[in-house]
Amino acid sequence: MRYKRILLKLSGEALMGTRNYGIDPIRLSEYAKEIKKIVEKNIEVAIVIGGGNIFRGLAGASNGMDRVQGDYMGMLATVINGLALQSALEEAELQTRLLTSIEMKEIAEPFIKRRAVRHLEKGRVVIFGGGTGNPYFTTDTAAVLRAIEIGADIILKGTRVDGIYTSDPEKDDSATKFDSITFKEVMNKDLRIMDMTAFTLSEENKLPILVFDMNKKGNLLKVVSGKNVGTLVEG
């Protein structure tokens, strides 16, 4: 295996599957199966999940809602997704712990870095809910922050495209994919794979990011095995 401890970033929207709102149980259980394959290879897995399938703070703000209020609603949405994912992973007979950045002791453990690391060492899948716990930050930033804190080897950003392209492959037929790219090139070419806060935090801490298609069966295992899947951002 190429990596020992990874942080998997999943988008909330991906959980919708074919629906246009909420959580698709089929998609959820597919993800659980993919994750199980890498846990069985003794990879330590931490997960940050977005909340866009339920609520987006920014969208709320554009409709006149207070931005901070909207962001808190988004953070709660990530906890709902975290609970759903935890349930699906347990259904797949994995050990899991949900840790939240905003205390809600009745439903999850509070985030304590040392507890998170201990859970990982014991082979438990750790889900981080509640983003960074602060408004004005995205779940991508939460993913990078937690990855650095727990000493993850890499961020695996699971998306519905199979990597980073010269332009949006869903809009431009002539777009070509990069196998690997440097942080600087991503910046110079304005490729926007994450928001700037998340991206620079990753660059400053020399944490590589791998963008890959999470919806393709077997891809996650290929990624951690070091096969040439997706696009690696490093250096």
Q: Decide whether 103 or 179 has the Cβ nearer to ligand GTP.
A: 103
Query: Pairing mode, if any, of strands 209-213 and 231-234?
Result: antiparallel
- By the rule CB under 6 A, 109 interacts with ligand GTP: yes
Q: How far is the CB of 103 from ligand GTP (least distance, A)?
A: 8
Query: Pairing mode, if any, of strands 5-10 and 125-129?
Result: unpaired
- By the rule CB under 6 A, 122 interacts with ligand GTP: yes
CB-based contact 225:2 (threshold 8 Å): yes
Termini Cα distance of the chain: 21
- By the rule CB under 6 A, 113 interacts with ligand GTP: no
Q: How far is the CB of 102 from ligand GTP (least distance, A)?
A: 13
- Alpha carbons 30 and 172: distance in angstroms, whole number: 29
- By the rule CB under 6 A, 97 interacts with ligand GTP: yes
Q: Which residues contact 48 (CB under 8 A, 6 or more apart)?
A: 7, 8, 9, 10, 78, 127, 128, 131, 139, 142, 143, 146
- By the rule CB under 6 A, 150 interacts with ligand GTP: no
Question: Measuring CA to CA, which residue among 63, 47, 49, 55 is closest to residue 21?
Answer: 55
- From 19, 113, 118, 192, residue interacting with ligand GTP (rule: CB under 6 A): 118
Total number of residues binding ligand GTP (CB under 6 A)?
A: 9
List phi, psi (to 5°) of 213.
Answer: -85, 110
Q: Which two tokens stand for residue 170?
A: 């869903």
Q: Decide whether 90 or 172 has the Cβ nearer to ligand GTP.
A: 90
Q: Decide whether 19 or 122 has the Cβ nearer to ligand GTP.
A: 122
- From 108, 125, 156, 214, residue interacting with ligand GTP (rule: CB under 6 A): 108
Q: How far is the CB of 47 from ligand GTP (least distance, A)?
A: 15
- By the rule CB under 6 A, 107 interacts with ligand GTP: yes
CB atoms within 10 A of CB 168: 11
- By the rule CB under 6 A, 112 interacts with ligand GTP: no
Residues near ligand GTP, by CB under 6 A: 97, 105-110, 118, 122
